[in-house]
Each structure stands twice: as structure tokens, then as C-alpha cells.
Structure 1
Amino acid sequence: MSTAAPAPKWKPRLLTAVGAAALAILVTLSGLTLAPDAAIYDTLALGAAPDADPRIVVVDIDQKSLAELGRWPWSRRTHAQLVDRLTLADAKGIAFNILLSEPALFDPEGDALLARAISRSGRVVLPVFAEPVQLNGATVELMPIPEFAASAASLGHAEMVLDEDGVARSVYLRAGLGSPHWPALALALLQLEQSTGANAELPGRRLVTTDLAPASPYEWVRDHEVRVPFASPPNAFRHVSYTDVLNQRIPASLLRGNWIIVGVSATGMGPITRAPGQPATASMSGADYQANLLNMLIKDAAITPLGEGWQAGLSAALAALPLLLSLLPGLRRIWLPTVLTMAGTVVISVLLLRYGHVWFSPVPALLVLALGASLWIYRLLRRTHKQAQSDALTGLANRTRFDHALDQELRVARRSDQPLSLLVMDIDHFKQLNDTQGHAAGDAALKALGRILRSRARRPRDLVARLGGDEFALLLPETSAQAAATIATTIHVDLANQGRKPHGTSAGTSPPFTASIGIHTHMSGDDAGPEDVFDRADAALYRAKQAGRNRSVSHTGEPDAIGTSATRV
């Protein structure tokens, strides 16, 4: 009856590949890698930053403007004059990134003047802000007062999206309470010229689909998530002071045919954030945030983050790829496909970002691949260490490992007052066996003796070693002299039974042979060192050979006199 063939090598590799893929999916969906994801994105995004479009001009409400025009808030008459100046300069579009949600009770006529100026221009976009009524309470939309909203060419949400580390990386091109009905402020400004409606195809990751139930009317709903490739530096756009525009100290040519974004840059007056890759001390105003968003839309450079499903799927495929590649000829050493896949993962992420404007985070796949590489290196080191302490032919411990174990067990025996027995043995007439039957027969005999010794070393601390040539050792902690002699006798019996089996059968693959054994038992109170213990066992082995071989001789353990007891089988 034939035995079953061993399982093909591809099966464990395939199961490991499935496990690696599952781990990559778990890492992706758990969000454990958000911090390294952000760090790598910030590094790679700097290389993909577009130049600042010269047609974008930021009008700053800066310290100079406050010094000339007085403390904030100003009369809406002032803003009306600014709108008229920009309209006369033939600006392409004007976006106010200023909260105008309450009427000016101290100057209602100023509100009316601003509303008429906005209406005359026909190119002004006003912001919608979302804020909670109270901490952890319902969100409300802070819209411009009705006069301004009715006069504006368009409205757009001015939400500044910040990640947990306080860095602005993303924007939602559409958002609103209950449904994403407001375009982003910069998008609304661009749509003045393009005449694109709400149903136009927009870039970004979709977060709202028709399959989802309608959101609560009090929930701020976002859609079309994109990452903004910020210009370097983020304030690289043309900046002019509000008061300089108002007092016509700026050439009209600087404003003509350009997009104008009006916002606050004076310290402590408006929200500030930090762009990716910028130092912690750097800041970016809301106007610069909108300028970067407009720059992205003009240059069609929006970066779309992969959805969780695609991110998890691609990470899983890359994590499993080295194990699948290792099944191919020439790639069977797992380190080569692992290194290639790790490099390929980074290259894929860079290429998708630079040329596809898609963000795929390589971190989950790299983390799993690095974990797999670490485990492979650990196993390699263990295997190398084991091979360095093992005999290649028999798989037993070699002389180095035996010497270390003998020294260690001798120390333990002294502390515990327990006996330590050592059996040293040679195959009888081994050279003659090699010369007459060949080295293959000699190797078979060595392996057979190794199997027999291993079968008698059944406890975890028992050690079988091939010391070199045909010399073997059996180290038996906590074993008395009598027990050691009994084990030696069983070894002789096993060898005799081995010799009775027909040579060439599956059970008897070696020619018949015998062995001589020397035994020494280290007892409590003996201060002999490892070399002395071995020499005594070796001396007993020499006496066994002198007495006619195929026998065991036990050393008495006395340091000054040698007495033996012989056993022949």
C-alpha cells in the first residue's frame, strides 16, 4: 500500500497569501495607519504641487488695512466700494470669504449699498458656513442675509476641512444640510464663467449615492471628496492689500480678467490652518485655502482618494503578491518578490498620484509586506542558527551545540544536586565498513544510529549529538548511573534488532553494525569541569574498545581511580 504524497508546496504558500491579504484589508479598514498615510502623502504631494495661477488674486484684509480703515467690523459701505472698484476693473469673478450672516443694525443703509453693488457686479459669490448651534449640537447653515443672498451670482460653502493633525488636505466639492446642494466657494466662483450646473461631472470620491437613505435635515452632508494639491508655498498667489485696492493704489491691469478672493489674513481675525508638508509654525488663511482650491479646479489637478473598497482590495493584492510570485521559477526565494513588490507598491502610489491624480496609500500593503519580511528574516536566522549547531547528515546537534549544552547542564546539576550522565559511543570498525561497502553504506549507518539514539532521548532536555566522524554522544540530565547503563543496554539491543532486518527494506536501510559505549555519571559534590566529564566518558569508551567492542563500560565517577563495569550484548 503506497503512502500519500506530501502536500504540494503551493498550498501553504496560497494559504499564507490569503492570510496576508486579509491582514492588509483589516489594517486598511481599521484606520491604524492614518498618521503614516498622512506623512507619506505630504511628502509625495509636494512633488505634485502645481504652480500658482497668475490669474488668481487674493485681496487681504491685513494689518495695513485695519490700520487705515479702523477696527473690524467695517461698515458694509466699505465692502460696497470694494465691489465697485473690482467691477470697474473688470474682474472675472469675486468671492468673499467673509461671514455676512447678520445685518448691520448700526448701519442698515450700508447693507443696502452692498446688496446693490453685488447686484450691479453680477459676478460676486458669497459663502455659506456650517456651525453647530452649541457644543455637540445640531448644525446650522450660516447664510448671507437675504438681501445679499438674493443679489449674489452664486453661493458656495466655505468649509475648511482639517484632519486630526490640524492639516488641511481635503475639500468636499459639494456639501450642505440634508443634502450636498452647495458647491465649494471656489467651485461656485469658477462656475460663473463655465456655466456648469450642479449636475456637471465633478472629480472626487463619491460619498452620497442614490442607494443611501436620505440624510437627516440637520446633518451636514458631504460629497465629491478630493485632496488639494497645494501650491508651494500655499500663499504663492498674488496678494494685494484691501485698502490698496479700495484707494486705487493697485493698477487695474492687476485685477482685470482675474479671479478675486477677498478674505482675512490679519493675525487673530480668521481661521488659519496648515498645508501639507509645511512646518508647524506655518499658517494658511481661509482665502489662500480657497485660492488653492480654485487653482486645482482651473488646472484640473484634483486628487481623488481611492474608496475604502479599492484601497483595501489593492493593498490585499499587493500583500499577497510576493507569495504568489514565489511559486514561479526563479522567484522561489521569498525575499526577492517581497523586495520587488515593496518597491512596486511605492512606484504605483507615486505614478497614480502624479499621472492619474489618484491617491493610493501604500502604507497598509508596505506594513504587511514588512511584517512578512521580518518573519522571513526571523525564520532564516533561526534556521541558520540551527544549521550552525546541527550536523548536516544526521540532523543531530553538532559538537558546538553539545559543548554548550554540556557546560549548561553541568551548572544545573551542581545547583540541583542531581546526577548528569553522558554516553559517548563509536561505530565499531566504521572505516572497514566504509572501505568494503562504500560511503553510502557508512552514511546509512550513521543515520541509523542517530535515529536509534533519538528514540532513546525522549525528554526535552536530553540531547543527542554527532561529535564528528562516527563518534556520537547522548547527554542525559537527572539520570543516575544505573539508568544510564540501562539506556546503553537498550541501544545495543536496538542495534542488534537493526542488524536482523533485511538490508534494502524500508525498515532496514543500513548494513548491520555494532557500537561501543563509554558512560560517565557526574554526581553531587564532584567539581569536575565539562572537559573532565567528557574525558572520563571517552576513557570508558576506550576501555570498551580494548575489551572487544560491542559493549558498554561505565566510569565510576571517582577522579583519582578508574573502575569499570562492562556490559556486552
Structure 2
Amino acid sequence: MIIAALPLLKRALAWVAGFAVAVLLIASSAMQPLDNALYDAHMRHWSYATSDQVVIVAIDPKSLAALGNWPLPRSVHAQLIRRLTAAGVRGVGMDVTMAEADVNHPDNDHTYAQAIHDNGHVVMPVFAEAAELGGVLEEVLPVPEIARNAAAFGHVDASKDPDGVTRGVYLKAGLGQPQWSALALALYDIGRPSPLHPLPGLHQPKGTANSPYEWIRDDYVLVRFANSAGAFNQVSYVDVLQGRVPDALLKGRWVLIGATAAGLGDQLATSASRPNNPMPGVEYQANILESLSDGRLITPLNLTAQLLLGSFALALPLAIYGLPGMRRTRVLAALSLSMIVLMSLLLLRAAGVWWPPTGWMVIVAAGLTLHAAIRHLEARRELKQARLTDVTWWQPPATDIKNSGRA
């Protein structure tokens, strides 16, 4: 009975060892570069056609050439807002900071504040920065008169992974506590009976103590980008301002206003783009807004879910080893590794969740390689033992040798 249970015990010990290694790999983030590479390669081939719900009003080189150097006067922004109000837009996300008063033209602040008040659906940006190098972070909102007239505020914090690539967004963030929605989420919530709840994504554990001087993020989701860049309806700022864009293209749509000209605003490397073809920050917000509207946001699996799925991935080759056709290591490896990749991609495409698979693949591959090496050594030892047995069996008896000598 004990001897019969030994193979099962060996498999259980192999599973425990593999699971322990997996925990170490996840904790150290050692496999994150490979997981990111696999994720990015897939996302570049999983684009989609955008709807006409979002329009980008681009502060592009054409606009700057026509209207003058940056920053544009706030009276000009006020004219644009009034133009959008007349066109009947659904809401406006202004990805342009107005944190300092226009000292030389104070009436411009009042003019802009009145324009966004009359619109009633303008979201202004909020962000955090230190007043001096190495200083304490402070939340930066628009000047008070503009802030009082904004419909809502949204943070414009572009989440970047350690490799500098933006793959997702924190739907909530703020100084001391995540009180501000992302700009796109704040715009999406305008006009809805109630804010989107519950929010998707990875959540902070309840009861987490946060410093009041730290920028806190929560509700992290991955963004399914429509394309590398240029996927959304985009019109030039100056064309809208001067009435060259038909109202039909703007009516009932969300409008995001931001810089696309080089040197202005964020230029982001994303999971759908290359470093030499960055995405403007305003288009990043457009992708978030489109994903929110169409339910395309992707939720990374939390640690518990990752380990549960991974435990199944480790158990699979151990369970099927020895079945008909499953005693060859190469066949077993091909099937097991393919199943892990397919599980990850199926969850991504069908369920909108991301399970990083490469760590589990490495563990399974390493385990099967070690198993093959051990079997090879055992086979060599058995062959050697068999040869020794054959030599001993064919050796003539000692009495026969003596008798033959006497003869």
C-alpha cells in the first residue's frame, strides 16, 4: 500500500515545490517583463473600430500656427467652449491645466469661468506636484474662480509601468486618499443618474493606512487601446473655433480637448504603440472613455485568483502524466504549455481579465525538463546494471575452468 502511494506522493511534492517557486516569482516580479511582452504583442493585434461617441479637439501645429504660441489665452478657450455648447455636445473634458491666474488679463479667467458655467458639463483636470524639488506633494486644481464653475474634476495621472509603458489607468487617485476620478471617468459620469459603481479593477485592501502627503491610487484597470494612435475622430482646435466643423459631428458626443502637438502635454508609450510612435495624453483619455462606455476595460487578476489558476496549471501535467500517449515529455510539455497560454488568452478575450502566464510556463517547463533528465539518468543506470548482469550471467562457472585445465 505504501509503495503504491509513492508515485502520488512524489507528484504532490512536485506540485508543492512548483507552487512555492511561483509565489517567489510573483513576489519578486521577475517574470513581469516577459508577461508584459506577451500582453503587448497580443494587444497590438487586438485593435477595434471606435464608435463616434468621442471626439478629440486637438491643439495641433495647425492651431498653434493660426492662434499663436502656447499657452493660448483663456478667452480663446472660452470661445471654444461656447462653440461646443452651441453645438450641443454631451460633455467636455479639458486636458489643459489652468492652475495659475492670468495676472496680465484677469478678465480672461472670468470669461472662461462663465463659459464653462453656462455649458454645465465641463470637467477640469487635477494633478499633484511639489512646489519645489524634493518638496511635499500638493494637489493642483484650477484657479478658484474656474474651479467653482467646473462641473467636476478628474485626475490626469497616466500610470506607467517600470518599463515606462502605459498599459492601464487608476480610475481613482488623490492626495492622502483616492478621491478624484480619472478625467475620462469623471466625464463619463456626467449626466448619469449615479456614478459608476462598483468600479472595476484591482482595489486597495480595506483599512489601508495612507499618508496625507502621498499620492494614493486605487481601482487599477488595463485599457484596451483601439489602436496605436489616431483611432478616434479628431478635429483641429482652430477649425472648431472658426466654425469649420459641422455641428452634426459634435452634437451629443463627448469632447476631449488637449494637445497633440509635439512638446505639449504627455506623449505616452502604450501597450498598443511603439516608443517611436507615442500616444498623446488626450488620446489616452479618449481610449479610457471609450473602454468605459463599451465595457472594454480589462481587470488584472488579484494575487489569490492568480494562485488558484496557477495551481491548476501546475496540477495539469502531474495529473495527466502516464495516461495513454502522455508518457513522452515533449508531448506533455507541448500540451501543458499550450493550455496555459490558451487559458490566459481566453480569459483576456472572453472575460476581460488578465492572468500573467509566463511564470507558470517557466515552472512547468523547468519541472518537465528536470523530470526528463532524471528519467534519462535512471535509464542509463538501469542499462548499466543490465550490462553488468549479462556479463555475470555469461561468465563460466569456476569448476568448469579447473576441469578444463586438467584435461
Give the TM-score normalised by the residue count of structure 2. 0.92
Work out the number of aligned pairs and report it. Answer: 407
Partner of residue 386 from structure 2, selected from 390, 395, 399: 395
Task: Look up the match of 2:166.
Answer: 168
Shift of residue 548, structure 1, vs aligned partner: 4.6
* Partner residue of 2:354 out of 343, 359, 372: 359
In the alignment, structure 1 residue 339 sits paired with structure 2 residue 334: yes
Q: Is the 8 A contact 2:329 2:372 kept in 1?
A: no
Q: Distance in 2 between matches of 1:31 and 1:137?
A: 30
CA displacement, residues 9-46 of structure 1 (integer Å, 9 cap, x when unaligned): 21112111111111122212220011011011112223
Aligned match of 2:33 in 22, 32, 35?
Answer: 35
CA distance in 1, matches of 2:179, 2:241: 34
Q: Does 1:15 align with 2:6?
A: no
Alignment of 1:297 with 2:292, yes or no, is yes
In the other structure, the counterpart of 2:232 is 237
Deviations 1:226-245 (A, max 9, x none): 00000113321011111111
1:124–1:152 Cα contact (<8 Å) kept: yes
The answer to whether residue 218 in structure 2 is matched with residue 220 in structure 1 is no
Q: CA deviation at 1:280?
A: 2.5
> What residue number does 2:183 align with?
185
Q: How far off is 1:470 after superposition?
A: 1.1
Per-residue deviation at 1:515?
Answer: 6.7
- CA distance, structure 2, for counterparts of residue 152 and residue 172 of structure 1: 22
- Contact kept in structure 2, 1:116 and 1:151, CA below 8 Å: yes
Give the conservation status (yes or no) of the 8 Å contact 1:28–1:312.
no
Determine the C-alpha separation between the residues in 2 that align with 1:9 and 1:327: 11
Which residue does 1:269 correspond to in 2?
A: 264
Name which one, 1 or 2, has greater alpha-carbon Rg: 1
Q: TM-score, normalised by structure 1?
A: 0.67
Of the three residues 255, 258, 264, the one matched with 2:253 is: 258
Computed over aligned residues only, the root mean square deviation of the Cα atoms, in angstroms, reads 2.5
Residues 125, 155 of structure 2: 8 Å contact kept: yes
SS at match of 1:233: coil
Comparing 268-277 with 45-54, greater Cα deviation is found at 45-54
CA–CA separation in structure 2 for the residues paired with 1:38 and 1:515: 75
Cα pair distance change 1:168/1:395, threshold 3 Å: same
SS in structure 1 of the partner of residue 190 of structure 2: helix
Task: Give distance in 1, aligned partners of 2:100 and 2:168.
Answer: 29
For residues 135 and 516 of structure 1, the distance between their equivalents in structure 2, rounded to whole angstroms, comes to 99
Structure with bigger RCO (C-alpha 8 Å, 6+ apart): 2
Residue 514 of structure 1 is matched in structure 2 by: 398
- Partners of 1:377 and 1:104 lie apart in 2 by 73
- CA distance in 2 between counterparts of 1:4 and 1:73 reads 80
Distance 2:215 2:194 in 1: 23
Q: Which moved more, 1:376-385 or 1:68-77?
A: 376-385
Percent identical residues: 37
Give the Cα–Cα distance (whole angstroms) in 1 for the partners of residues 399 and 89 of structure 2: 105
In structure 2, the CA distance between the partners of 1:131 and 1:349, relative to structure 1 (3 Å rule), is: same
Q: Give 3-state SS (helix, strand or coil) of 1:339's partner.
A: helix
Preserved CA contact (<8 Å) 2:273 2:279: no
Compared CA separation, residues 130 and 370, structure 1 to 2 (3 A): same
Q: Aligned AA for 1:285?
A: P
Whole-Å separation in 1 of the counterparts to 2:399 and 2:274? 77
**AA in 2 matched with 1:514:** A
Please give the residue correspondences for 1:522-561 in structure 2 after superposition, counting only pairs within 5 Å.
546-548=404-406
State the AA in 2 paired with 1:96: M
Which residue of 370, 373, 379 maps to 1:378?
A: 373
Mark the runs of 5 or more structure 2 residues left unpaired by the alignment. none
CA contact (8 A) 1:20 1:320 kept: no
Q: Distance in 2 between matches of 1:548 and 1:145?
A: 121
Q: Deviations over 1:113-150 (max 9, x none)?
A: 00000100001100111223445543221111111111
Q: For 2:129, which of 131, 145, 158 is the aligned residue?
A: 131
**Is the contact between residue 155 and residue 185 of structure 1 (CA under 8 Å) also seen in structure 2?**
yes
**Secondary structure of 1:188's partner?**
helix
TM-aligned CA distance change 1:297 to 1:7, over 3 Å: closer
Aligned counterparts of 1:97 and 1:248: Cα–Cα separation in 2: 21
* Alignment correspondent of 1:203: 200
Equivalent position of 2:394 in the other structure:
470
Query: How far apart are 1:212 and its partner, in Å?
Result: 2.4
The offset of 1:258, in angstroms, is 1.0
Q: Does 1:281 align with 2:205?
A: no
Structure 1: stretches of 5+ with no match in the other structure:
398-446, 451-465, 473-512, 518-543, 550-569
Give, in whole Å, the separation in 2 of the partners of 1:206 and 1:172: 10
Q: 1:110 to 1:329 in 2, by over 3 A?
A: same
Tell me which moved more, 186-195 or 329-338. 329-338
